[in-house]
Structure 1
Amino acid sequence: MIPLIVCYALFICGGFVLHRRKWQNTKEKVIFVATTSLGLVMWICIFVRYPLDLNKAIAVILDGLR
């Protein structure tokens, strides 16, 4: 699990280093971090053999925003 989190940190840092001049606003940065974090969650679910129901997760998030 630790190598997975280290890879996640490297991808986040690498993405910011490679695109530091190309990003025009913070919205792009937030989307990059969100999609990378979603990928981390999916991989963790695969490793711990606990299936993640994305429909249920999205419903919980949307209900929390109301």
Structure 2
Amino acid sequence: MTNPSGNGSALEWFKSSYSTNDGPECVEVAFAPRTIHVRDSKHAQGPQLAFGPSQWAAFVSYATDH
């Protein structure tokens, strides 16, 4: 399996500070040199999204305003 970070190293995942161990909102984010990865921590082996830096910045800006 190819590593999604694209540089041969494993991604280091960080759980959202808004996530709880017993709640349904469990989001994790990992940063790679050219992409930001997002996954559901309850399904760590499942699908994940990948964003470029400008798309991630636009999403975070939008999310903090709403």
* TM-score where L is the length of structure 1: 0.28
* TM-score where L is the length of structure 2: 0.28
Q: Higher helix fraction: Structure 1 or Structure 2?
A: 1
Higher relative contact order (CA 8 A, sep 6+): 1
Q: Higher strand fraction: Structure 1 or Structure 2?
A: 2
